[in-house]
Amino acid sequence: MRTVTRNPLIIALDLSDPDGAERLAKELAGSVAYLKIGLELFTATGPSVVERISAHAPVFLDLKLHDIPNTVGRAARNVGRLGAALLTVHALGGIEMVRAAVEGAAEGASGGGVDPPGIVGITVLSSLAGEDLASPASLAFEAMSAGATGVVVSGVDVAMVREALGPMAALIVPGIRPGGQATNDHVRVLSPREALERGADYLVVGRPITEASDPAAAAHALLREVGVE
């Protein structure tokens, strides 16, 4: 297996209860690279949840912005003030849209006195499969050329995108399921070891950790599985 030199875990706080999300954040503090706030938690609680969760770990704000460049740029500017570490946009929106997100986030962060979030391009959702999907490698290359920090890529596409982008791009892989875990609504599923072997830098894991009786222990078990601990 490829040598892992840093914590690769991004834990998805996919729930609508901000207090429950913060309890999980406290339990997982020090055990993860990022905590992911998605649409469910963000729409249930509003932007203030970013500050609450950021007190425990860097926030990966998974809003998947996708609109005309002007709209995405303004939304990213608002996000830039919040202090999130990463923000997702759909790479399918094109180079100008991704660039608008990069510029907007930097502008908002400057006004808020915080570091700008890295923009991460979503290629193909891990719930989708089929021959007619857009090329993940092309989408990833365009996102990176527009100033993105990294891309989200899943399943069999991970190795192809790593080869296309080289070693510098951050590859974030969702749909991670340790052996024997249910796949739920993910189609493009990999085990933690498979994802890292194919070139992943970060692994997005949700229910196998958050629904465990001891989430912190489950996180550390996964880290031991991939050789970080």
pTM: predicted TM-score of the whole model, two decimal places: 0.90
Per-residue pLDDT, averaged over 214-224, amounts to 94
Topology at the third CATH level for domain 9-225 = TIM Barrel (3.20.20)
| Extents of the domains making up the chain | 9-225
Q: Which residues are catalytic?
A: 64
3-state secondary structure the chain: CCCCCCCCEEEECCCCCHHHHHHHHHHHCCCCCEEEECHHHHHHHCCHHHHHHHCCCCEEEEEEECCCHHHHHHHHHHHHCCCCCEEEEEHHHCHHHHHHHHHHHHHHHHHHCCCCCEEEEECCCCCCCCCCCCCHHHHHHHHHHCCCCEEECCCCHHHHHHHHHCCCCEEEECCECCCCCCCCCCCCCECHHHHHHCCCCEEEECHHHHCCCCHHHHHHHHHHHCCCC
Indicate whether 131 pLDDT > 70: no
pLDDT digits (tens, 9 = 90+) for 70-118: 999 999 999 999 999 999 999 999 999 999 999 999 999 999 999 999 9
Q: Which residue has the higher pLDDT, 21 or 187?
A: 21
